[in-house]
């Protein structure tokens, strides 16, 4: 029995050796093609999940941004220009030059209508904003409202009357016709709500003379602004009502000085906008947009917004300028000057000149 058991154990031992070797060899085998494909599928599946999740997040952010933007711009009144470029007297050669220089010229009009829903009447303020996308520069040209120009269908008139006669389209046509420009878009701001906008940006700090201080207090009382009395001259902080009264001063000096005051108020407001936090933008937009009418599309506005909010240089010019030697007089009272020469200087300013603000000098005839 013992011998049989020994032999049996020997047999078992001999038989067990191949099994153990076989198992070991199985563990050391290289991965099969099937195994590699399974692993690759898992890797690609993970990548697809990551990409899909990323795309989904981006789409959600884009949609959220779109709806937020639509909500914030809900109060903006858009009114596209229906007239064709030739009807607006767009100078085709200037349009090509603007395209080459990547400059967009936009007409800015300021009216003072107590009815917020109607931006009608004469344009108290006329400006041309030149957006230089190539050099990241903003150029602002103010045109005195009493400048004598040709208005189609009305003859020689004050340029401010064009807006009253035919709205923004006739006003744009008048600018293009007299100064050989390519303007096709505009924005009109109702000054009646200017006080609220200035308050929304925290008021403005500005230098005023003693004569201006007195006029601010007079204008505030007569225009129903109910502003607090300004007690000192020099560098002062003005709230919305006080700053609006300042912008409306017209009795102590020239029409040009009045335009300069309006430009100062606008420049101060833009500077203050740059200091606002993102959380303050919605309140500002809700205040500003009901006062604005524009032909610009939402896409245009989105494109301009980064430039307007950045620290871009704002260069200014006036028409008539000192070189125009404008003479004031007549009945009705107007500024007389060489329009073609003024147009040449304006083109130099917009397309070539990088100088600082132009000064103005005038003489008057009774």
Of 93 and 124, the structure prediction assigns the larger pLDDT to: 93
Q: What is the pLDDT of residues 349-361, one digit of tens each?
A: 999 854 434 434 3
Where do the DSSP E strands lie in 61-134?
A: 77-78, 103-111, 125-132
Contact 210, 247 (CB under 8 A): no
| Confidence band, pLDDT 50/70/90 cuts, at residue 182 | very high
pLDDT in tens, 58-71: 665 555 554 555 55
Higher pLDDT, residue 52 or 96: 96
Distances (CA, A) of 360 to 133, 159, 302, 352, 363: 28, 18, 35, 20, 10
3-state secondary structure of 317: strand
Share of the chain above pLDDT 90, in %: 39
Instruction: Please give the Cα distance from 61 to 256 (Å, whole number).
Output: 48
Q: Please compute Rg for the chain using Cα positions.
A: 35
The answer to whether the CB of 301 falls within 8 A of the CB of 73 is: yes
pLDDT for 146 equals: 92
CA nearest neighbour of 142 among 169, 107, 177: 107
Percentage with pLDDT > 70 across the chain: 70
Inter-residue contact 117 to 203 (CB < 8 Å): no
pLDDT single digits (tens) 95-141:
999 999 999 999 999 887 655 455 566 688 899 999 998 888 889 99
User: Between residues 82 and 50, which one has the greater pLDDT?
Assistant: 82
Please report the pLDDT score of residue 363 as a whole number.
42
The three-state secondary structure class of 238 is strand
**Number of Cβ within a 10 Å radius of residue 56:** 10
**β-strand 185-190 against 363-364: which pairing, if any?**
unpaired
Any residues with CB less than 8 A from the CB of 66 and at least 6 apart, and which?
A: none
Domains of the chain: 73-201+276-364 (3.40.630.190)
**Spatial separation of the C-alpha atoms in residues 245 and 220, rounded to whole Å:** 5
Q: Which of 177-191, 243-257, 292-306 has the lowest mean pLDDT?
A: 292-306
Band the pLDDT of 235: cuts 50, 70, 90: very high
- pLDDT value at position 248? 85
pLDDT score recorded for residue 355? 43
Instruction: Give this prediction's pTM.
Output: 0.71
pLDDT at 256: 76
Q: Please tell me which residue, 42 or 346, carries the higher pLDDT value.
A: 346
Average model confidence (pLDDT) across the chain = 79
| Three-state DSSP class for residue 114 | coil
Q: In this structure, how many other beta carbons lie within 10 angstroms of the beta carbon of residue 175?
A: 24
């Amino acid at each position: 029995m013992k011998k049989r058991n020994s032999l049996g154990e020997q047999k078992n031992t001999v038989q067990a050796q191949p099994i153990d070797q076989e198992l070991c060899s199985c563990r050391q085998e290289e991965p099969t093609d099937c195994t590699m494909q399974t692993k690759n599928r898992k890797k690609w599946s993970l990548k697809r999940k990551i990409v899909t999740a990323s795309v989904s997040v981006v789409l959600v952010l884009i949609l959220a941004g779109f709806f937020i933007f639509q909500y914030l711009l809900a109060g903006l009144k858009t009114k596209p220009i229906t007239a064709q470029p030739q009807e607006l007297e767009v100078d085709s050669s200037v349009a090509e030059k603007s395209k080459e220089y990547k400059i967009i010229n936009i007409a800015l009009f300021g009216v003072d209508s107590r009815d917020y829903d109607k931006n009608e009447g004469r344009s108290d303020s006329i400006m041309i904003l030149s957006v230089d996308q190539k050099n990241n520069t903003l150029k602002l040209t103010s045109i005195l409202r009493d400048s004598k120009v040709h208005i189609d269908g009305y003859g020689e008139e004050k340029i401010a009357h064009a807006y009253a006669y035919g709205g923004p389209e006739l006003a744009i046509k008048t600018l293009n016709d007299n100064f050989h420009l390519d303007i096709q878009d505009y924005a009109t701001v109702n000054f009646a709500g200017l006080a609220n906008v200035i308050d929304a940006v925290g008021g403005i700090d500005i230098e005023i003379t003693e004569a201006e201080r007195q006029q601010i207090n007079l204008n505030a009382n007569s225009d129903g602004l109910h502003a607090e009395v300004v007690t000192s001259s020099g560098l002062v902080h003005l709230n919305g009502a006080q700053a609006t009264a300042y912008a409306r001063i017209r009795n102590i000096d020239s029409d040009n000085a009045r335009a300069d005051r309006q430009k100062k108020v606008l420049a101060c407001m833009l500077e203050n906008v740059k200091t606002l936090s993102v959380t303050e933008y919605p309140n500002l937009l809700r205040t500003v947009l009901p006062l604005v009418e524009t032909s610009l599309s939402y896409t245009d506005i989105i494109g301009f917004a980064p430039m307007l909010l950045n620290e871009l240089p704002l260069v200014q010019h006036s028409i008539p300028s000192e070189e125009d030697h404008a003479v004031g007089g007549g009945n009705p009272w107007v500024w007389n000057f060489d329009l073609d020469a003024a147009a040449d200087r304006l083109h130099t300013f917009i397309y070539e000149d990088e100088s600082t603000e132009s000064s103005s000098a005038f003489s008057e005839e009774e």
